[in-house]
Amino acid sequence: MTEREFFGPGEAISWALRRDLRLALRSRGELGVALLFFLIVVSLFPLSVNPDPKLLRTIAPGIAWVSALLATLLALGRLFNNDYADGTLEQMLLSPLPLPGIVGGKVLAHWISTGLPLVLVSPLVAVQFGLGGGELGVLMVSLLLGTPILSMLGAIGAALTLGLRAAPVLLALLVLPLYVPVLIFGAGAVEAHASGLGAGGHLSLLAAGTLLAGLATPWATCTALRIAYE
């Protein structure tokens, strides 16, 4: 029995999750950049369009989701870059811990420190755009189900562009097309609820996408990381 067999995915996920959350808490300024970006973008839109309440309620879901998408993209750089720069990522590749578990823990930590705060501050969108309680609830649920997909798909792009000179630009070009379906279903859930059609279909698709991404993206990210070191 090899040493690697003593370690399961659960141990790897737990170790990477605790490690990355500790590191995130130490750099609180960097941690708040994505959240501040989200708040600024959401706050600027009501100032730049017609202040008609009906118009604001109509565009609110799209603005909230585009802001969340860009905020997540802004924070993807710290997912692997620091570990790559100081050699820690190479040690993770050689570790007896299963690499998919390590990647899964890192992505989960990224979502907890980036995506979850966006969900928690999303009620500010209701205040600024005049959303009703039901619409706000659907928006929060859609963000809760959809933002993990953004982090998981972003992890693949971050791994593929690791160490490249134009990494931020290439990362955006890679992941933004993949984000489009999430954006459509996330914003569409709120619009469907507001029109009386029900948001269940959109939310179910987001939940299915999160489950599928959770199963597939750790392995795809591991492959991309190994390619980066070849």
| Span 149-171, average pLDDT | 89
N-term to C-term CA, the chain: 28
* % of the chain surpassing 70 pLDDT: 95
Provide φ and ψ at 27, rounded to 5°: -110, 70
pTM strictly above 0.85: yes
Closest C-alpha among 82, 96, 90 to residue 230: 90
The residue type of 180 is V
Closest C-alpha among 83, 99, 51 to residue 221: 99
| Span 10-16, average pLDDT | 89
| Span 91-98, average pLDDT | 87
Question: To which residue do tokens 């990362």 refer?
Answer: 171
Confidence label for 228 from pLDDT (cuts 50, 70 and 90)? confident
119-158, pLDDT tens digit by residue? Answer: 999 888 777 887 778 888 999 999 999 999 999 999 999 9
List alpha helices for the chain, DSSP H.
9-26, 28-48, 53-75, 81-85, 88-94, 99-110, 116-121, 123-129, 133-160, 167-194, 200-228
Task: Give the chain's mean pLDDT.
Answer: 86
Instruction: Show the tokens assigned to 98.
Output: 């299963």
For 137, other C-beta atoms within 10 Å of its C-beta total 16
Distance of CA 66 to the CA centre of its chain: 12
Give, as one character, the DSSP assignment of residue 1. Answer: -
**Is the C-alpha dihedral spanning 214, 220, 223, 227 positive or negative?**
negative
Number of residues assigned to the chain: 230
Domain boundaries along the sequence of the chain: 3-228
14-40, pLDDT tens digit by residue? Answer: 999 999 999 888 876 667 788 888 888
Query: Which range, 3-12, 53-62, 182-191, is most confident?
Result: 182-191
Determine contact, residues 164/173, Cβ cutoff 8 Å.
no
Confidence label for 3 from pLDDT (cuts 50, 70 and 90)? very low
Determine contact, residues 142/190, Cβ cutoff 8 Å.
yes
Give, as one character, the DSSP assignment of residue 197. Answer: S
Question: To which residue do tokens 């879901």 refer?
Answer: 61
More confident residue, 58 or 112: 112
| Span 188-197, average pLDDT | 87
Confidence label for 7 from pLDDT (cuts 50, 70 and 90)? low
Determine contact, residues 87/124, Cβ cutoff 8 Å.
no
Confidence label for 4 from pLDDT (cuts 50, 70 and 90)? very low
33-81, pLDDT tens digit by residue? Answer: 888 888 888 888 877 777 777 888 888 888 889 999 999 998 888 888 8
